[in-house]
Amino acid sequence: MTPLPKRKIIGVQVHHSQDLSNASAYGANMLTALEAAISKSDKQELKDLYSMLARYSKQISEHQRKAQTQMRTLSLVHPETFKQCVDGRIPWPDETEEGFEARCTCNDQCAIHDLGKDQEDFWICTCGECPQHVKSK
């Protein structure tokens, strides 16, 4: 039996389409809750809020679909750039670069040393390649 790896994956750099997806889901939840409140109170103010929120929720969903399409296109057209973005080495091309800080990968698993994968399986050693803590030569 192979021992468990000593290091764990901390995370990936999430594209803003995921944040927009969350906003869209939260908007849908608010719409559902407002519908329930309207069915119980029938107040015009709530109906007005519902109409306004429905317009905003639609706009958020449209932005989410556009961002998702941009991310998918990047993964197909420039897979290496996509991988670097997911790994947190570079910012997503459609996001601001200001304040970007490469994701620390010191605690990520190495496919070869931690997971025992063969180099023949297209795996490369990622030990000591943290973009934040690269040792200068």
Structure tokens at 59: 């706009």
pLDDT score for 18: 92
User: Is residue 5, in this structure, part of any structural domain at all?
Assistant: no
Same domain? 20 vs 85: yes
pLDDT score for 86: 87
By the 8 A CB rule, do 107 and 8 touch? yes
Which of these, 38, 59, 36, lies nearest to 47 by C-alpha position? 38
User: Is residue 4, in this structure, part of any structural domain at all?
Assistant: no
Same domain? 73 vs 24: yes
Rounded Cα gap, residues 132 and 102, in angstroms = 6
Which of these, 91, 66, 69, 97, lies nearest to 13 by C-alpha position? 91
Same domain? 113 vs 136: yes
Amino acid at 125: C
Same domain? 24 vs 84: yes
> Could you tell me the residue range of the domain that residue 71 belongs to?
16-91
Structure tokens at 19: 């944040």
User: Is residue 116, in this structure, part of any structural domain at all?
Assistant: yes
pTM of the model: 0.68
Mean pLDDT by 10 residues, the chain (137 residues): 50 86 96 96 96 97 96 95 89 90 74 66 63 55
Rounded Cα gap, residues 134 and 129, in angstroms = 6
Q: Report the number of distinct structural domains present in the chain.
A: 2
